[in-house]
Amino acid sequence: MFRKIIFAIIVLMVAQQATAQKAVTISGSYDKAGDGVVKLFRVEDGKIVQVATCQAGQNRKFGFHFFPAYNGWYVIGTGNERNNSDNYTVYLKEGDELEISIKQNNYSLSGTKNTRESKIVHDWQTMADQVYQKSVNFSRNSSTFTDFFPQLEKLVNDAQVFLKAHANRNTPFSRQLKELVSMDLLNYSNQFLNTPRSVHPEVAQFSAYYNTIRVEELTSHAASFYNYPWGNRTLSSVLMTAMRQKGIIPGGGPKGFSGILSMVSNDTLKGDLALERMASVKGYDEYQQYLDLFGKFMITANQEREKLKQLQALEPFKPGMKGYNFSATDSAGNTIQLKQLAGKLVLVDCWATWCGPCKKEEPYWEKLTERFAGKDIVFTGLSIDEDKTAWKKYMAEKKLKGLQLHIGTKNEFSSVYKTSAIPRYLLFDRSGNVITTDSPRPSDEALAILIEEWLKK
Cβ-contact 264, 220 below 8 angstroms: no
CA distance 431 to 442: 23
Strand order through the sheet with 24-30: 7-11, 61-67, 24-30, 97-102, 107-109
Sequence-distant (≥ 6) Cβ neighbours of residue 10 within 8 angstroms: 40, 51, 52, 64, 65, 66, 67
End-to-end Cα distance, the chain = 85
- Angle of helix 172-193 relative to helix 231-246, nearest 10 degrees, comes to 50
pLDDT at residue 9, rounded to an integer? 43
Regarding beta strands 61-67 and 24-30, do their DSSP bridges make them parallel or antiparallel, or are they unpaired? Answer: antiparallel
Q: Which residues contact 15 (CB under 8 A, 6 or more apart)?
A: none
CA–CA distances in Å: residue 338 to residues 122, 328, 372, 408, 432: 56, 9, 20, 16, 7
Q: What does pLDDT average to in each consecutive run of 10 residues of the chain (457 residues)?
A: 41 44 95 96 96 96 96 96 93 97 96 95 97 93 94 98 89 95 98 92 97 96 97 96 89 86 96 94 83 94 90 80 87 90 94 92 94 94 91 89 89 82 93 91 94 93
Give the global pTM: 0.75
Taking a C-beta distance cutoff of 8 angstroms, is the pair 404, 350 a contact?
Answer: no
Cα–Cα dist 264/219, whole Å: 6
Which amino acid is residue 63, in one-letter code?
Answer: G
Q: What is the reported pLDDT for 263?
A: 95
Strand 87-92 and strand 107-109: pairing? Answer: unpaired
Which residues lie closer than 8 Å to 350 by C-beta, 6 or more apart?
382, 384, 413, 414, 417, 419, 422, 423, 424, 425, 426
Report the pLDDT value the prediction gives residue 15, as an integer from 0 to 100: 40
Phi, psi of 186 (to 5 degrees): -60, -45
123: how many CB neighbours lie within 10 A of its CB?
14
Strands 61-67 and 7-11: parallel
Nearest one of 390, 380, 399 to 439, comparing CA atoms: 380
Q: What is the pLDDT of residue 16?
A: 43
The CA distance from 403 to 400, in Å, is 9
Q: Which domains does the chain have, with CATH numbers?
A: 1-115 (2.60.40.1120), 249-313 (no CATH), 327-455 (3.40.30.10)
pLDDT of residue 232: 95
